[in-house]
Amino acid sequence: MPDPIISRLRRFQTRYFPRLRKQFQALVDQGQHPTVLFIGCCDSRLVPYLLMDSGPGELFIARNVGNFVPPFDASHGYHGTAAAIEFAVLNLNVREIIVCGHSHCGAIRALYTELPAEAQHMAKWLELGRDAVLPVMLSEEALRRTEQRSVVLQLERLMDYPMVRRRVEAGDLYLRGWHYLIEEGKVLVLNIETGQFEAFDAAIEAARANDPLAGVNLLP
């Protein structure tokens, strides 16, 4: 029986790579120059390249359980996501950072449930979303609201990174909060004026007239 992983690798090498050979070579010769840092969840149903209709070299992606942003304070331990943020802002000079949450997020649901005793790393990591939890009974509506509140929380934490705040205040780095509805194929965008997640066209129109710092301190 064929190994499905080997079959996927073979398809990449024989079908996809030949079409993109020149593009990959240019990315090697000229280096990568993505303009967007995409912070997303590890959830397999979230596919950033598909969602943003992008290809090699266009996105710098950091993924973790719950699309969380760890504190800037390095004393909290090793954080690949924090390193990715620093590299994207300081070395790659990205122009935008997107924090993308999504519906049916297992990390958000886990904030309302008891974890297995062995899940010590997960328990510690989930504390990064604890402040988004609502004091209500678990329901689908509560989960959707918590997913969105968590995105705002992560955006606020991003502003604690000195290099992020400096460039946001200078007007050459913009933060975006997204909530992807998997079952609808729809992205809701944080409106920094109202603090609500709206259809992307309405939110983008409103954002044109507002300061990029207006998204700070939106949690009610």
- Closest alpha carbon to 100 in 157, 50, 150, 171: 150
Across the chain, which has 220 residues, the per-10-residue mean pLDDT values are 90 94 96 98 97 96 98 83 97 98 98 95 95 95 98 97 97 97 96 89 58 43
pTM above 0.85, yes or no: yes
Backbone dihedral angles phi then psi of residue 186, each to the nearest 5 degrees: -120, 140
Cβ atoms within 10 Å, residue 65: 18
Q: How far apart are CA 88 and CA 51, in angstroms?
A: 20
- Both tokens of 119, joined, read 């899940």
Q: How far apart are CA 46 and CA 64, in angstroms?
A: 12
What's the pLDDT at 219? 44
What's the pLDDT at 1? 76
What's the pLDDT at 217? 39
Q: How far apart are CA 209 and CA 204, in angstroms?
A: 9
All structural domains of the chain, each given as residue ranges with its CATH number in brackets, are 1-30 (no CATH), 32-215 (3.40.1050.10)
Based on C-alpha coordinates, what's the Rg of the chain? 19
In the sheet with 96-102, reading across from the earlier edge strand, the strands are: 59-64, 36-41, 96-102, 174-181, 186-190, 197-199
